[in-house]
Amino acid sequence: MSPRKVRVSADIIRGCNIEDAIFRLNSTIKKSNEPIKKMLLSAVANAENNFNLDRNSLIISDIWVGEGISLKRWMPRAYGRASEILKRSSHIYIILDGIESDNKKSKKKLKINKSEKDITEGHIETVEKNDDKKDGVSRFSKKGHYQLESKKKESREKGWSKKMFKRKSV
């Protein structure tokens, strides 16, 4: 089955828990739902047996579909020609993730809220710097020479090139 057709079913179940994903696959009518459902149940069985995870705490964190091999077939056409038919296949990748229990989530949320409260109660002082060198008095260049900025700006403004060439036409 082509990856383009399988991606439609994969997008439906991305981010869902296992029971919700199986319900969605059963309720939509697509040929690609059966292989995805079979693969999903296999991934859940692997998670339960190999990693001792609870089925109810699993969610599909990511699922993507890539191109597999394409079988090339030929169809006869007019004037002795033949056109190529590609019978595409797809590779499906599923990543399952475990969710912690509700009690642990609520504790983490409380800790985050407390730390945000501490930050907002603090006092922040701003300090402004006044540099006399930026007022046009003097500037140290990279070559090691002092240059006056005000004289440099005046020399740019004067000249025949400003009168002759205009950047934008009027």
Structural domain for 154, as ranges: 133-159
Spans of the chain, pLDDT less than 50 = 103-126, 132-133, 135, 137
Same domain, 80 and 12: yes
Same domain, 21 and 91: yes
pLDDT at 153 (0 to 100): 53
Same domain, 48 and 95: yes
Q: Residue 134's Cα: distance from chain center in Å?
A: 42
Same domain, 73 and 141: no
User: Where does a domain end: 58, 80, 100?
Assistant: 100
Could you give the count of Cα atoms lying within 13 Å of 166 in the half-sphere of its Cβ?
4
pLDDT (tens digit per residue) in 43-90: 999 999 998 899 999 999 999 999 999 999 999 999 999 999 999 999
Structure tokens at 79: 């004037």
Q: How far, in Å, CA of 66 to CA of 90, rounded?
A: 6
pLDDT at 65 (0 to 100): 95
User: Where does a domain end: 53, 77, 100?
Assistant: 100
pLDDT at 69 (0 to 100): 96
Same domain, 87 and 140: no
User: Where does a domain end: 52, 80, 100?
Assistant: 100
Same domain, 76 and 9: yes
DSSP 88: E
Q: Could you tell me how many residues make up the chain?
A: 170
CATH number of the domain where residue 60 is located: 3.90.470.10
Q: Taking the model in full, what pTM does it have?
A: 0.56
Same domain, 18 and 62: yes
pLDDT at 4 (0 to 100): 94
Distances (CA, A) of 10 to 31, 40, 146: 12, 11, 66
pLDDT at 169 (0 to 100): 63
pLDDT at 99 (0 to 100): 82
pLDDT at 111 (0 to 100): 47
Same domain, 96 and 19: yes
Same domain, 95 and 148: no
